Amino acid sequence: MEKIGTGEGKDLVDVSSAVGGGVQDIYGEDHATEDQLVTPWTVSVASGYTLLRDPHFNKGLAFTEKERDSHYLRGLLPPVVLSQELQEKKLLQNIREYKVPLQKYMALMDLEERNERLFYKLLIDNVEELLPIVYTPTVGEACQKYGSIFSRPQGLYISLKEKGKILEVLRNWPEKTIQVIVVTDGERILGLGDLGCQGMGIPVGKLALYTALGGVRPSACLPITIDVGTNNEKLLSDEFYIGIKQKRARGQEYDELMEEFMTAVKQNYGEKVLIQFEDFGNHNAFTLLEKYCKSHLVFNDDIQGTASVVLAGVVAALKLIGGTLPEQTFLFFGAGEAGTGIAELIALEMSKQANAPLEETRKKFWLVDSKGLIVISRKNSLQDFKKRWAQDHEPIGDLLGAVKAIKPTILIGSSGVGNTFTKEVIEAMTLFNEKPLIMALSNPTSQSECTAEEAYTWSKGRAIFASGSPFDPVHYQDKVFVPGQANNAYIFPGFGMGLVISGTIRVHVEMLQAASEALAGQVTEENYEKGMIYPPFSNIRNISAHIAAKVAAKAYELGLATRLPRPQDLVKYAESCMYSPVYRGYR
């Protein structure tokens, strides 16, 4: 057995003199966020054939001649030694050969299971090309077909069968220091509905982005699926479905399972583990967030992450559409967890800027659900989370009628229903706005309220457009428009990293506002000239470091940070904590 060294042929080095009470190393590994003062290199690595089958330490053909001798790899590899850069070049060429996005997804997941560092190097260096593969829109198709493409388990599956022994299940996971958990019950996967146990693709994809974009160590990330059944008849009759085949559990049985899960997580991993709720149904998403926000470090990306990234886009767009935030009128198509979460965060920011009561600023927000405009006459039949948005207005049954009556400056779609921002709706928006802001946020691409081309063409090039799924640049009347992507991946990796590096114990709404401010501040004049209201993803690690710094600063300001003393330069500290996918030298 050999030990990992800090570089080829070098001895073990104690690097426990870290900023802020942790451990740092020359590779930037995120040991700075761990409490125990240990030398990270005192880790044993298996040798020979076993080493080649360990994705955490395998380097494939990049093992040096010396490493092949010291780790009994002679003869187990072809004689050539390749650099990580050459391995990356070869893999990228291979992935580009696939014409079907799902095949690219499967190839990347296979790579992650073989060689973890090469997977992250490939993803980090080619983030704009590969993000739509590991995340939306391709991950949606992967979830739909997860049973058929399932090969090796990723993450933990906690089903009703494990009720009463969830703590034991958590202890089965090999990594003991977990900083971020992404958990789903699979009920509302993107805009695709109830996919049950096959929703695991979402936590796996989200945590890959936590590492690639935010710098959280892969070993500190844990994807979890809570399987309480599914109401999807197609899956229940599918012989390849990987979950329990029963109708979805509700009420007391569901609540007891979630309570046991939340208690076990805190007991096993401590107070500072971030639990990110992902793609729960509306009725559970709000309840769980409200129930556990005071006792756990919890974050709902659909409610809070989406809100934060949209607020950032709106703030940035003001430079193009003109006026201040309190002067805008918002119309939302879709009043679920995303729509109401966005509206609430923007209303809070508007209240802060205008120094006005929140109840007053909410009057600038109008929401349309499947039954039409949310108005006071409907209040008795509304779900609780919608009631605060009911306004005094005559009922209007359709979106076009609402646009004409409300005359919004900003139209936001979070309905999960595609092709609903019609030509008539876009044209109506341009009648009373010189530059209307149109945000078609529903995922995946097939569920987008309109395409970028439709928004620019129907508005005659006047719309400022952003979407949830990626769209290619649009050529219209000798001008190239680059659509913005209001992708949660801008926010949650940096947001989570900020919580981790500060040792925050609770999420506060001001942290979400700080994250939005940091993201909006990264949009350059060059971006604005192309009609962009979000910076390019090619710079995402730097963006995440700035978001992490702002979030951590707010945590210290609010007295919620536990990692003391506070580092002087939080941006540099965040960068120093980020995981590096560069290969390590082994002794």
- Residue 555 CB-half CA count within 13 A: 31
Helix or strand (DSSP H, E) at 158: strand 156-159
Q: Which residues make Cβ contacts (< 8 Å) with residue 28, sequence separation at least 6?
A: 215, 575, 576, 577, 578, 579, 580
Q: What distance in Å separates the CA atoms of residue 364 and residue 372, rounded to the nearest whole number?
A: 17
456 is catalytic: no
* Residue 388 in this model has a pLDDT that exceeds 50: yes
The pair of structure tokens assigned to 106 is 């499967």
pTM over 0.75: yes
User: Do the Cβ atoms of 112 and 204 come closer than 8 Å?
Assistant: no
Cis status of the peptide bond prior to 565, with omega within 30 of 0: yes
Q: Which residues pair with 45 in a beta bridge?
A: 2
Q: What distance in Å separates the CA atoms of residue 487 and residue 484, rounded to the nearest whole number?
A: 9
Q: How many C-beta neighbours within 10 Å does residue 68 have?
A: 16
Q: Which residues pair with 276 in a beta bridge?
A: 182, 299
What pLDDT was estimated at residue 395?
Answer: 96
DSSP 3-state assignment of 495? helix
Averaged pLDDT for residues 189-212 = 94
Helix or strand (DSSP H, E) at 358: helix 358-361
Q: Which residues make Cβ contacts (< 8 Å) with residue 411, sequence separation at least 6?
A: 331, 333, 403, 421, 425, 429, 436, 437, 438, 439
Catalytic residue, chosen from 120, 135, 456, 573, is: 135
206 is catalytic: yes
355 confidence band (pLDDT: 50, 70, 90): very high
44 confidence band (pLDDT: 50, 70, 90): low
* Sign of CA pseudo-dihedral 559, 565, 570, 574: negative
Averaged pLDDT for residues 382-407 = 96
What pLDDT was estimated at residue 587?
Answer: 73
250 confidence band (pLDDT: 50, 70, 90): very high
Catalytic residue, chosen from 59, 206, 364, 386, is: 206
9 confidence band (pLDDT: 50, 70, 90): very low
Looking up tokens 């995303």 gives 338
User: Do the Cβ atoms of 170 and 264 come closer than 8 Å?
Assistant: yes
Q: What distance in Å separates the CA atoms of residue 329 and residue 320, rounded to the nearest whole number?
A: 16
Q: Which residues make Cβ contacts (< 8 Å) with residue 355, sequence separation at least 6?
A: none
Q: How much of the chain exceeds pLDDT 70, in percent? A: 92
243 confidence band (pLDDT: 50, 70, 90): very high
Query: Which of 52, 50, 62 minimizes the C-alpha distance to 91?
Result: 62
What pLDDT was estimated at residue 10?
Answer: 30
Q: Is 534 exposed, middle or buried (0-12, 13-18, 19+ CB in 10 A)?
A: buried
What pLDDT was estimated at residue 446?
Answer: 87
Mean pLDDT, all residues of the chain: 91
Query: Which of 483, 463, 581, 468 minimizes the C-alpha distance to 211?
Result: 581
Give the DSSP letter string of 399-410.
HHHHHHHH--SE
* Residue 24 in this model has a pLDDT that exceeds 80: no
Q: Which residues pair with 44 in a beta bridge?
A: 3
Averaged pLDDT for residues 322-327 = 96
Q: Let me know how long the chain is.
A: 587
Q: How many C-beta neighbours within 10 Å does residue 423 have?
A: 12
* Residue 17 in this model has a pLDDT that exceeds 80: no
Q: At what angle do helices 116-125 and 127-134 cross, to 10 degrees?
A: 120
What pLDDT was estimated at residue 14?
Answer: 29
Of 95 and 152, more confident = 95
Q: What distance in Å separates the CA atoms of residue 151 and residue 112, rounded to the nearest whole number?
A: 13
What pLDDT was estimated at residue 443?
Answer: 85
43 confidence band (pLDDT: 50, 70, 90): low
Q: How many C-beta neighbours within 10 Å does residue 342 have?
A: 28
